Chains A and B, each alone.
Chain A
């Protein structure tokens, strides 16, 4: 699945200071209704994009409190957070609010 993943608010520093990543995420579809959700994407991102200090990004099984997530410019709190399902060409944005103002 082709996705665009963006990091902002300092999170880009965890992945070689690169803000925008065009990626192809493959996942195993158990049956036809199976969709890639943010839950799987988070662990994919952690494995494949985050190069250092993963604790700045993940806490427990979700993003660290203070990291905002938007899927196609929509707050993931409106779409079920970890259960948000993803589709081809979606844009997922992670922004840290934890850096100084």
Chain B
């Protein structure tokens, strides 16, 4: 039995009292050595993966939570210390969730001042005319995370385009990535499985995204924030009943307790999967309607109520949701959004015209969108 009064000495400096056990190496180290090791590892990851070039404009996706707060802090420090020559920005998305995002955005506002980084906030309301509060009112709690995730992705792209940045960095940590790899295996989502473990994604798209914390343990991020007394916000989103992901997360945490390396090993496995060339993949396509990337939705049927067969429209999740904004004519004319197979018709969004949007919640993480465009009925499901 060890008691805490047996003070352990840092195994790196052999001077100061050890303050934590690193999950990655099981080393017992003091806070000073920890800060150095933590920052240096991220610096090495940035260099070895050539995440940035001098002069790059880089947006940090900032939610006010622990990961993005630590990322903003560490990245501005590394940029200063190692003279990366980056122009850093904070980019936040306001989903319009009362009691959650409004509070966390206050944290981002404080971070803006603390780290001296310019901040841009893009809101669902401004971009799409809907807040998440309004969407949940309409579609209920089922599947709302999927929607929100897709919307956020696009909102970040818009914000990044507004800031004219070259790259977007997010605070996804090793635990998050291990969890996503596992989740994609559990769903048989081969396309995402091969993408999700990359440190840089979307290089062929408008704005590449990267994850400097890909190999950084959540435990260390939280310890870093705690010891440095960084100001972050930690409340679970009020609309997140994502049970399937919750199980994967819990499983990862259980594994970590028994063998912390498990997290890095799952990532290693993810990186080294070779997908059989005969596997049918849903390619990332472009939505014919709104022009945005559509990895999530594929048309499954297009019965025509007017008797003609309908086209091969491939539709993105924004089908029902973007109607009021960006989208050109076809979608601008949507007059109905309904959920649960036609109930809860929403008429106050009526813009006139003949396009109707429908959304059906199915099991967890799966949904079907039905919409009617000029008399033709289209259905689309998520591609996994």
Contact = CB atoms under 8 A, between A and B. Distances in A.
A80 B234 contact: no
B65 A100 contact: yes
Contacts of A100: 63, 65, 234, 236-237, 240
B4 A79 contact: yes
B18 A78 contact: yes
Interface stretch (B48-56, B111-119, B251-259): B251-259
Contacts of B205: none
Interface string A73-88: 1111111100111110
A72 B3 CA distance: 13
Residue among B172, B235, B240 facing the most chain A CB atoms (10 A cut-off): B235
B17 A74 contact: yes
A98 to B, nearest CB: 7
Interface in B16-49: 17-21, 28
Q: Give the 7 A-B CB pairs with smallest separation, nearest first.
A: A101-B67, A79-B4, A65-B253, A75-B20, A80-B2, A101-B65, A10-B234
A41 B190 CA distance: 46
Nearest to B255: A65
B236 to A, nearest CB: 5
Contacts of B256: 65
Contacts of B240: 100
Contacts of B171: 101
A9 to B, nearest CB: 5
Given A65-B257, A101-B65, A74 B19 contact: yes
Residue among A71, A76, A97 facing the most chain B CB atoms (10 A cut-off): A97
B79 to A, nearest CB: 21
Residue among A87, A96, A100 facing the most chain B CB atoms (10 A cut-off): A100
Contacts of A87: 5
B295 interface: no
Contacts of A9: 66, 222, 234
A100 B63 CA distance: 9
B236 A10 contact: yes
Contacts of A68: 219, 222-223, 226
A78 B8 contact: yes
B173 A85 contact: no
A71 to B, nearest CB: 6
Given A77-B20, A95-B226, A100-B65, A13 B235 contact: yes
A70 interface: yes
B218 interface: yes
Nearest to A85: B3
Contacts of B19: 73-75, 78
Contacts of B66: 9, 97, 99, 101
B4 A74 contact: yes
Contacts of A76: 4
Contacts of B134: none
B1 A78 contact: no
Contact of B253 (A66, A72, A93, A95): A66
A79 B234 contact: no
A8 interface: yes
B78 to A, nearest CB: 19
A82 to B, nearest CB: 10
B17 A83 contact: no
Nearest to A73: B19
A20 to B, nearest CB: 14
Given A10-B236, A65-B250, A72-B4, A97 B219 contact: yes
Contacts of A85: 3-5
A80 B4 contact: yes
29 contacts: A8-B234, A10-B235, A64-B253, A66-B253, A68-B223, A68-B226, A74-B19, A74-B20, A75-B20, A75-B21, A77-B21, A78-B4, A78-B8, A78-B18, A78-B19, A78-B21, A79-B4, A80-B3, A83-B3, A85-B5, A87-B5, A97-B219, A97-B221, A98-B249, A99-B236, A100-B234, A101-B66, A101-B172, A101-B173
